[in-house]
Amino acid sequence: MIQRKQTLFFLAALILVMLPLIGTSFFNYFSEQGMEYCYNAFNFKQVGSGPIVLNKGFEWMLILVISLILVLAIFSFKNRKRQIQLGWLAFVLNVLTSASIVFHAFLFESAHKTEASLVIEMTFFAFASAFLFILAGIQGVRKDKKLVDSLNRLR
């Protein structure tokens, strides 16, 4: 199971998807008044003189769902069709979650157009790049399925 390259791709995607759960921020905003705003998977908060939570985030739930789906995809190595379906489901959820994060970031930036400057953190890029590993895992499963089907045809 672990020696297959698609399993390693799904495992790398799982690590990249779970990276925001350690509390690192997706985006930071710096206002002209010297205030800093931080947007992570759990909340959107003001980091000035004391952390004030402005909005509770829901992305952590989606991240947990994507992680669970990737774990199921890793351990369903005997059923390739299910593994491909789970991979596509994780891919779609990852893209939708990334789009939701970008939407929230630009929503805040448009509301404070003259006051805030947006700084994109590496956590967002790591989370968003997980879809490349998911696609590579799906392609590996497809090649594996094609190889097994051709061997069955030869028998």
Q: What is the pLDDT of residues 50-73, one digit of tens each?
A: 666 666 777 888 889 999 999 999
| Residues 94-117: tens digit of each pLDDT | 999 888 888 877 777 666 555 667
CATH of 15-146, one of 1.20.140, 3.40.50, 3.40.630, 3.30.300: 1.20.140
Average pLDDT over residues 132-140: 93
pLDDT of residue 21: 85
Instruction: Report yes or no: 46 and 35 within 8 Å, Cβ to Cβ.
Output: yes
Both tokens of 54, joined, read 């402005």
Nearest residue to 82 via CA among 91, 69, 73, 94: 73
**Which has more pLDDT, 58 or 32?**
58
CA angle, 108 then 109 then 114, to 5°: 125
pLDDT at 50: 63
pLDDT the model gives residue 113: 55
pLDDT of res. 135: 94
Q: Residue 96: its pLDDT value, please?
A: 92
Domain ranges of the chain: 15-146
pLDDT of the residue at 139: 93
Q: For residue 65, what are the β-bridge partners?
A: none
